[in-house]
Chain A
Amino acid sequence: MPNHWRTWALDYGLYVVFALLLLILSQMSPYFFTVSNLLNIGSQVAMIAVVAIGMTMVILMGEIDLSVGSVAALAGAITAGLIHALPSEWPMGLWLAFSITTGMLIGIVAGLVNGLFVVWGGIPSFIVTLGALSIGRGLVLLYTGGRPIFGFGDAFGKISWGHLGPVPLPIVIMLSLYLLAWLFLCKTQLGRYIYAIGANKEAVELAGVNYRRIKIGIFALAGAFSGLAGIMLTARLDSAQPTAAVGWELDVIAAVVLGGASLYGGRGTVAKTLVGAFILQLISNGLNLLEVQAYWQQIAKGSIILAALLVERILRGRR
């Protein structure tokens, strides 16, 4: 295959797949291309997509975060527990803000701990965050006693069911965070260092940059995104389930990898991650329309990730 074809396929192949999926789905169901269905798909994908922002940055640095689902569940559960514990002397709105902030802080602290173990402990992030996945889930089960916490009232539910004009809030949150992340990664010095750390962290260090601090900071940021998504999930379901967000790491990593980010670090963009997240959601919608059994959907999802990686590897040649 000529070289410029490869480059073209690597740069734009994703968008072609996305367009094809839209075409196929609109043929399968006349209902697909309605505004309400598209907004609905956007709301469904928002939580995975938000977590995928942090995951993209972590993967750009050549690391991984397997703990996102547990961290999201923990943040969601603690926010839920706090909302229920509303003290009588606090105004409702203020207490909600406090509960949500605390949930986000839980995410940040979890990410910080991950980052410290990876950077100062010198333990591969794969292992650190696998441990955190298990510990986080254990804490969720402990905190909830294995029972869901539910019923928070309309104000909290607005996070996932409210609208800004005609647009559902989850989509507003998702798109604004993507815009900020894109600006951060493409336009700022720190964003550039994130890429450089993944490509050659020794070079970054020799250039006099404290890459360890940056790495820890990005793990913490990724924790914040997980926390936020966990809170959005709790609001969406009006309940914090002990098994909430189980398996998110797979969906999120799949979105990032489908978006073409290299697991070796240094390559990838948030824009493509967002397209990757949408592709996964569209595939799952399509399989639902075809009434494919959930078990088969699992198998299909895993196969798609492996196929995407294989295609990318072939297109990139030896790299």
Chain B
Amino acid sequence: MKTSDQIPSAPLAEIRGISKRFGGVVALDQVNLTIRPGEVIGLVGDNGAGKSTLIKILSGAYLPDQGEILFEGQSVQIRNPRSSKDLGIETVYQDLALVDTLDVPGNIFLGREIVKFGFGPLRVLDKSQMAREAENILQRLGISLESLQAEVGLLSGGQRQSVAISRAILTEPKLIILDEPTAALAVMEVGHVLELVHNLREHNIGLVFISHVLQEVFEVADRIVVLRKGRKVADLVKEEASIDLVVNYMVGKIEEKKTHA
């Protein structure tokens, strides 16, 4: 096991006092979170704790009601998915957001296709270049697929997850958010995705990993953040945490907030 007692680098993203309500439901209540480059944060919490809402604010799907986001020290407004991507944040959604009828390169390059040339809005795709680069990325991540031409809808859950992650690293982002990347996978495929997350960390990017399987979280995370009913109730370095402790925070057996600077 690695220890992460290196010199603390400057924060990549700081979330300060973020709140979000949906009608009467308080999905997030004054949440603070600091993400550093090269660090994997395991974000955990019961169903409905606010995990998806928090990352959707970072990815531009929701606007917060209150609070501030700093990215690389600058205060930023993340108004839509585009502005999140422009900052260098990529999100792999729980429901994957893949286009089932497109092939693998088509999905990896969706929204940023490589074009040969264009006349105004008509841009001619460079399919062979995209296929080559897709193959490179898959190789870099140690993913092997039988055929890149296959419709993504015909792939297994784990293969689809690999495509979604390849898609996320395409632009060499600074922060990657993975929302329950293992939820829909066969047991055999889970190990592979966790390995992928390990590989990603080598690239010195920030990672937020959401899962409700604590064993997985302990396997990949450096820090574990617990949400409960929209509030951050714990922020622990993995070495000082245990599954029992985290469970107690999750279910509310320990109420007081313990924060790690």
Report A's interface with B, CB cutoff 8 A.
184, 187-190, 192, 195-196, 198-200, 202-209, 266-267
| Inter-subunit contact A208/B82 (CB<8 Å) | yes
Interface presence of B261 (CB below 8 A): no
CB-defined contacts of A187 to chain B, threshold 8 Å: 124-125
**Closest 4 A-B residue pairs measured CB to CB?**
A207-B111, A203-B97, A208-B82, A266-B101
Flag whether B122 is at the interface (Cβ < 8 A).
yes
Whether the pair A188, B110 counts as a contact (CB closer than 8 A) is no
Which residues of A have CB within 8 Å of B115? Answer: 189
**What is the total of A-B residue contacts with beta carbons within 8 Å?**
68
What CA separation (Å) do A190 and B123 show in the bound complex?
7
A123 CB to closest chain B CB (Å) equals 24
Residues from chain B with a CB closer than 8 A to the CB of A195 are 99, 101-102
Residues of A within 8 A of B209 (CB): none
A208 touches B85 (CB 8 A): yes
Known: A196-B110, A208-B82. A267 touches B101 (CB 8 A): yes
Task: Give every chain B residue within 8 A of A188 (Cβ-Cβ).
Answer: 122-125
Q: Is A205 in contact with B99, judged by CB distance below 8 angstroms?
A: no
A189 in contact with B123 (CB, 8 Å): yes
Complex CA distance for A169 and B29, rounded to whole angstroms: 68
A207 CB contacts on chain B under 8 angstroms: 81, 97, 110-112
Q: A188-B124, A266-B99 are in contact. List 13 more A-B contacts (CB 8 A).
A: A189-B113, A190-B121, A192-B125, A195-B102, A196-B110, A200-B97, A200-B98, A206-B61, A206-B93, A206-B97, A208-B85, A209-B110, A267-B101
Beta-carbon nearest neighbor of A207 in chain B:
B111
Q: Which residue of B lies closest to A217 (CB)?
A: B121
Contacts of B113 in A (CB 8 A): 189, 192
Interface of B is mostly: loop
CB contacts under 8 Å to A, within B86-107, are 91, 93, 97-102, 106
Q: Is the interface of A mostly helix, strand, loop or mixed?
A: helix
For A262, the closest partner residue in chain B by CB is B101
Contacts of B125 in A (CB 8 A): 187-189, 192
Cα separation A56 to B81 with both chains bound (whole Å): 29
> Which residue from B98, B112, B124 sits with its C-beta under 8 Å from A203?
B98
Residues of A within 8 A of B102 (CB): 192, 195-196, 199
* Chain A residues closer than 8 Å to B122, beta-carbon distance: 184, 188, 190
Smallest Cβ-Cβ distance to B106: which chain A residue: A192
Q: A186: nearest residue on chain B (CB-CB)?
A: B125
Find out whether the CB atom of B101 lies under 8 angstroms from the CB atom of A205: no
8 contacts between A and B (CB under 8 A): A190-B121, A195-B101, A198-B101, A203-B110, A205-B81, A207-B81, A207-B112, A208-B111
Contact of B81 with A199 in the complex, beta carbons under 8 Å: no
Q: Which residue of B lies closest to A60 (CB)?
A: B101
**CB-defined contacts of B93 to chain A, threshold 8 Å:** 206
- Cα A209 to Cα B113 in complex, Å, equals 11
Point out which of A208, A209, A266, A267 has the most chain B C-beta atoms below 10 A from its C-beta.
Answer: A208
- Assembly CA distance A199 to B106 (angstroms): 13
Q: A189-B115, A207-B81 are in contact. Are A200 and B100 (CB under 8 A)?
A: yes
Chain A residue at smallest Cβ distance from B80: A208
Whether A199 contacts B124 by the Cβ 8 Å rule is no
A199 touches B110 (CB 8 A): no
Minimal beta-carbon separation of B129 from chain A (angstroms): 13
User: CB distance A209 to B124 under 8 Å?
Assistant: no
Minimum distance in angstroms from A111 CB to a CB of chain B: 17
Residue ID in chain B nearest A191 by CB atoms: B125
User: Closest B-chain residue to A265, C-beta based?
Assistant: B101
Q: Which residue of A lies closest to B61 (CB)?
A: A206
Specify which chain B residues have a CB less than 8 angstroms from the CB of A267 in the assembled complex: 101
Q: Which B residues are in CB contact (< 8 Å) with A206? A: 59, 61, 81, 91, 93, 97
Q: How far is the CB of A263 from chain B (nearest CB, A)?
A: 14
B85 contacts which chain A residues (CB < 8 A)? 208
Give Cα A187 to B80, complex, Å: 28
- Report how far A173 CA is from B121 CA in the complex, Å: 23
Of A184, A190, A267, most buried by chain B (CB within 10 Å of CB) is A190
Residues of B contacting A200 with CB < 8 Å? 97-100
Most interface-central of A184, A192, A266 (chain B CB within 10 A): A192
